[in-house]
Amino acid sequence: MVTQICPKCKKDAFTWHESDVLSNFTVWSCNACPLQIFEDDSDEEPCEHCGEVTKTFLQSQEEQFNWCANCNAVTNYQKNE
Ligand SMILES: [Zn+2]
Ligand SMILES: [Zn+2]
């Protein structure tokens, strides 16, 4: 399976699978750190860094941010209290 650079630990170990419980959601998880986070499939936007339409919104219980799957830019990072 193709891996991406993890937005947390920056290792090339970030992979995804379709969620079994939540349709329209993709689950991203990292093989190198405990990060597990959800992506709403309907929500892809143009990235302000690389111009590709590969910026998605990732969210978990703890945090949420925009992440670009092409250039790995993390924007609008917010910790959920
Ligand atoms: Zn990681
Ligand atoms: Zn980008």
pLDDT of residue 43: 79
* Alpha-carbon torsion angle 69, 74, 75, 79, nearest 10: 120
pLDDT of residue 6: 97
Give me ligand 1 centre to Cα 62, in Å: 15
How far apart (Å, rounded) are the C-alpha atoms in residues 18 and 27?
6
Structure tokens at 51: 């111009």
pLDDT of residue 15: 97
Give me ligand 1 centre to Cα 50, in Å: 22
Residue 38 near residue 20 (C-beta atoms within 8 A): no
Which ligand has the nearest atom to the CA of 74? Answer: 2
pTM exceeding 0.85: yes
pLDDT of residue 24: 84
As residues whose CB is below 5 A from the ion ligand 1, the structure lists: 6, 8-9, 30, 32-33, 35
Give me ligand 1 centre to Cα 43, in Å: 22
Residues of the chain with pLDDT under 70: 1
